[in-house]
């Protein structure tokens, strides 16, 4: 009705949602999404939250909170997940330095997470910088938990 009345200015730079490409891994352990977000406690202290999610089933593989995560923490966590669930075929993360060194300015340099993935023949995928929609499932998981939804309702 607003379009017909000429009350909405078209925004040709915006793509319609119907053109977005959606994907889902075809099988469990095909792709794991991982991310670190943060939260402020009632005391005002800031903590980080690390989570790993299976892209196909949306099964929450891991969730842990601490003051800050290092690259070594990520490697230890991934080694534990591989021991428990077997290695995934691929991972999908953002470009945080704990996940990739490719944007750190050292050509060919790799961090511990990248070396672990290579040792297990796990394909690493990273979203485009500034484009969190690529890791949409784990980002949505963060949003749902911030609004009081439990993890079970996400599946």
**Residue 155 has what pLDDT?**
46
**Residue 74 has what pLDDT?**
97
Give the residue, 126 or 106, on which the prediction is more confident.
Answer: 126
Count the neighbouring beta carbons within 10 Å of the beta carbon of residue 43.
6
In this prediction, residues 8-16 reach a mean pLDDT of: 65
**Residue 61 has what pLDDT?**
95
Please say whether the beta carbons of 41 and 101 come within 8 A: no
**Residue 143 has what pLDDT?**
67
**Residue 145 has what pLDDT?**
60
- For residue 76, pLDDT over 80 is answered with yes
Write the DSSP assignment of 38-98 as a string of letters: EEE-TTS-EEEEEEEEETTT--EEEEEEES---HHHHHHHHHHHHHHH---SEEEE---TT
- For residue 42, pLDDT over 50 is answered with yes
């Amino acid at each position: 009705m607003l379009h017909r009345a000429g009350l909405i200015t078209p925004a040709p730079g915006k793509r319609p949602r119907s053109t977005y490409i959606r994907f889902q891994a075809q099988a469990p352990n095909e792709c794991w999404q991982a991310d670190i977000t943060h939260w402020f406690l009632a005391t005002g202290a800031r903590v980080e939250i690390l989570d790993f999610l299976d892209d196909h089933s949306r099964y929450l593989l891991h969730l842990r909170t601490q003051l800050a995560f290092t690259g070594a923490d990520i490697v230890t966590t991934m080694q534990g997940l591989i021991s428990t669930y077997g290695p995934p075929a691929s991972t999908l993360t953002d470009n945080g330095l704990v996940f990739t060194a490719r944007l750190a300015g050292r050509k060919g340099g790799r961090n511990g997470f990248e070396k672990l993935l290579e040792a297990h023949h796990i394909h690493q995928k990273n979203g485009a910088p500034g484009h969190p929609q690529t890791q949409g499932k784990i980002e949505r998981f963060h949003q749902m938990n911030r609004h009081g939804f439990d993890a079970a309702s996400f599946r």
